[in-house]
Amino acid sequence: MADQEDARLGQQMPSVSNNSTAILPWLIEHYELSKQVADLLRQRNAIGLQRYGTVLMSYNGRDALQDAIEEIADSIQYLAQVVIESYDRQRKLAFMRIIAKQNETLSYLLQLQSNDRQAI
């Protein structure tokens, strides 16, 4: 399924090159992540290794910005589902604020992507 979806979207399956760097160790080294976030990223990394036979690597032949845009767009919809399914007003408001922040992030990434494409 992932192969078909990636082909349909014009993206190849990830590959590894001589310039590749494992993303998670780099991220942990360069950013101050909370323990909870780092642990979740390690879990997600393990799932990627099991599912795809590799962890997320740089220079993998994919458009990382496009992947990030699509993942954030999906997360906005999941968060909207949480809002719809929540009965607690405070919980709804908290997730609505997160959606607004994700909207800002996604809008900014789309602008950067547009600028990148205009520069080509």
This prediction has a pTM of 0.81
- Phi, psi dihedrals of residue 22, rounded to the nearest 5°: -65, 130
- CA pair distance 54, 47, nearest whole angstrom: 9
Cβ density class 64-76: b for 16+ within 10 Å, e for less? eeebebeeeeeeb
pLDDT string in tens for the chain (120-residue length): 455 455 556 677 766 667 899 999 999 999 999 999 999 999 999 999 999 889 999 999 999 999 999 999 999 999 999 999 999 999 999 999 999 999 999 999 999 999 988 876
